[in-house]
Amino acid sequence: MTDNVAPSESVQNDGLDSLAKTADTIATEMRKSRRWANWRMGAFLLFPIAILAFTTMSSSSLSNTGPIQIPRGEPYVSLVKIRGNIEPGGGAAAEFLKPALTRAFQDKRSRGVILLINSPGGTPVQANELYQYVRDFKADFDKKVVAVGEDMMTSGAYMVAVSADKIFVNRSTMSGSIGVVQQAFGYKGLADRIGVESRTITAGEHKYRLDPFQDLNPDDVAKMKGALNQIHAHFIDVIKEGRGDRLDPNYDLFTGDFWTGDEAVSLGLVDGIGTLNGVMEEEFGVQYAVDYSHRKSLLQGLNDVLTASIESTLREILINSNEPQPRTR
């Protein structure tokens, strides 16, 4: 069967369809034009950012890189900054700090080494590696080492600090935290409510401990507690080896607690209150330091800056666009 449509109505519908198609075409072109304009604006914004980043990284990579900036004949010390988490891939990872420490100790003209520390700690293995590295190099090169704490010098960072001959902090520096922690979360209650069950399969009775989707197993707790106690005992041995009889024997310093500057001095955790410049002058008799800290290469730094800039620009483009926003599932 054929529909009975009046000629005038058919013409009218064709006209409406044509008009709708034209409107869609115009809207599509406008969206394309808007996207192209946004991308051009993004590129326009990124170009000066790239130039600025390149200039900044170039100038910073050339500053404080060696004794060339120190007046001829002036004495100096080697400086190594320990900042961020002491863990693989962290800001103070052993893989980054070991080369820096090597260069600092091998500088024959340097009067000693200063460890400038601002770190909450990290993994016990990484911290102990750095501790041993400093101790060995200190003996091999017969150089005095002093640690200076900034905002935080706790846990693994304090372990590294006790490798030094002396430790100085600010009155507000947090020091200590000689303990070990293992943190996890349990989701069994939530999983039961939403109908999720664990289907973990293992070969070996204890291959998977502390399953977050199961009730807390006392055997798992005992196992983890035993491992943490062993690591804690090792931590304590390192602190006693590094600080010796300077520690207050009448106070339990190994509960995992932390202390600010004056308290840390009174307990023998550190040797005094001081600043970087003050320590340089009083402990080494110098006014200059050569910073041997790990630095990212020019390309690495430029890549970080550009990546952050691109992400920011794309975010602005998406926010200002009328296009549907991308969503994760």
Residue ranges per structural domain of the chain: 1-74+296-329, 75-181+209-286
Distance CA 209, CA 186 (A): 12
* CA 82 vs CA 170, 171, 248, 292, 308: distances in Å: 16, 19, 27, 11, 24
Split at pLDDT 50, 70, 90, the class of 270 is very high
Split at pLDDT 50, 70, 90, the class of 102 is very high
Which comes out higher in pLDDT, residue 230 or 301? Answer: 230
pTM above 0.85, yes or no: no
Which comes out higher in pLDDT, residue 4 or 31? Answer: 31
> Residue 169: which of 320, 279, 42, 26 has the closest Cα?
279
Q: What is the pLDDT at residue 29?
A: 63
Write the pLDDT tens digit of every residue in 53-67. 444 433 333 334 443
Residue 125 confidence (pLDDT) above 60: yes
Average pLDDT, integer, range 235-258: 93
Q: What is the pLDDT at residue 66?
A: 40
Which comes out higher in pLDDT, residue 93 or 11? Answer: 93
Average pLDDT, integer, range 316-328: 46
Q: What is the pLDDT at residue 302?
A: 54
Q: What is the pLDDT at residue 170?
A: 96
Distance between first and last Cα of the chain: 47
Domain 75-181+209-286 annotated CATH 3.40.30.10: no
Residue 310 contacts by C-beta under 8 Å, 6 or more apart in sequence?
42, 46
Split at pLDDT 50, 70, 90, the class of 91 is confident
Q: What is the pLDDT at residue 45?
A: 52
Whole-number mean pLDDT of the chain?
A: 79
Residue 20 confidence (pLDDT) above 60: no
Out of 23-27, 286-290, 316-320, least confident range: 316-320
Which comes out higher in pLDDT, residue 89 or 238? Answer: 238
Distance CA 128, CA 155 (A): 11
pLDDT > 70 in the chain, percent: 68
Residue 300: CA atoms inside 13 Å, Cβ hemisphere, count?
6
Write the pLDDT tens digit of every residue in 111-122. 999 999 999 999
Q: What is the pLDDT at residue 213?
A: 81
Which comes out higher in pLDDT, residue 151 or 198? Answer: 151
Q: What is the pLDDT at residue 327?
A: 40
Residue 82 confidence (pLDDT) above 90: yes
Distance CA 153, CA 115 (A): 11
Write the pLDDT tens digit of every residue in 163-220. 999 999 999 999 999 998 888 888 888 888 888 888 888 888 888 888 888 888 888 8
Q: What is the pLDDT at residue 286?
A: 94
